[in-house]
Structure 1
Amino acid sequence: MDIGTLLTVAGAFFIVAASPGPANLGCALVSMRHGRRAGLQFGVGLSVGLAVWGVLAAAGLGAVLQTSEKALIALKLIGAGYLFWLAWQSGRSAARRMADVKPAATSARWLRQGVLLNLSNPKAVFAWMAALAMGLDADAGVGAVGIATFVCALIGLANYLVWAVLFSAGPALRIYQRLRRWLEGVVAGLFALAGLGMLRSALTR
């Protein structure tokens, strides 16, 4: 694989990974709510889930999902359910007083929640396929696909870690403390909208 092809794939994936969505939104919220360490742990979990979809996309599961309507619908329903659960959790947090907010979860739990959030989004595999298709062609070997997948996985990890660091910094924390209920409420609404979008996609396919 030449460097130009790799840069094309990496650039396309970076645009997808850095765009605001449930994963980046969740990373920002965890970082503001529970601090940098929790945000970084959550980001690592997100990157693991993203990497799993990347490996599956490289192995051809994306093509299987595109042709298997039942499997795709099932994954979308699971994803919608998880997004609704996240919306419920954010809504409950918005309704609490600051003193009633529960302490941060353990490291293992943040990692697990990050993995689950990205694994609950079957659209991630199509995002991977779109990025890989930007530079790779039908003649690309296993080695080229593997290198591209590895580089994109690193980009995903770096993206989440940057979100965690930025939103756990002093200015972001001060904004969160002043506007916590409003921010939690907005996040709850965005998660609910994302869940509704995935649910509609599953039921209208």
Structure 2
Amino acid sequence: MNAVIIGANGGIGKALADALVEEDASVHRLARPECDILDEASLAVAAAGAGTPDLVVVATGLLHEGEHGPEKAIRDLDPDWLARQYAVNAIGPALVAKHFLPIMPRAGRSVFAVLSARVGSISDNRLGGWYGYRASKAALNQLVRTLSIEDKRRNDRSIVVALHPGTVDTKLSRPFQQSGRDIFRPDRAAVQLLDVLDGLKPQDSGKIIAWDGTEIAP
């Protein structure tokens, strides 16, 4: 297997790359500053040196940064922070797809996966709040669906999916972890996600799949 992990210096990204190496995969670890999902030129350079990957995982995401975190109410909405979340959580992965899907195999099974979140499900939203994160992940899920339709015309066995890893003990989730909820170590989360990826079929393309293999409604 020839795999590319975007965001390979993050908690889940590093664990995914390490787990793939243990499975004797050839792994391209891409991360800032050399490869920045918001710098399209760097993505083009990275794609040019990645060969023909049959697995690409975008393991990036933004939930909090500096003084900014998930909004609890509409009074907390800030246009710059909303735009930042959309840039990292939706636009960046879309740009990765723009440059990496065309270099993936044109025949046979291939998988392009992005890390999303259950809170991006519109139908599953029962608590409100977290406006920017919810909306940007919902946008990401829609992008995945749209990309999956187009990529079927290039390779009818390609799989483009969004993955919900659950709550993983990383910098992203640490300030918001709740007692009593399952919290996975990054190495365990990586194995769970790779198990899900291994079991995907072409008809799963466009879906949002949780760490336990269940489908999440949009």
More relative contact order, 1 or 2 (CA 8 Å, 6+ apart): 1
Same fold (TM over 0.5): no
Q: TM-score, normalised by structure 2?
A: 0.28
TM-score (norm 1): 0.29
The structure with the larger Rg is: 1
Give the helix-richer structure, 1 or 2.
1
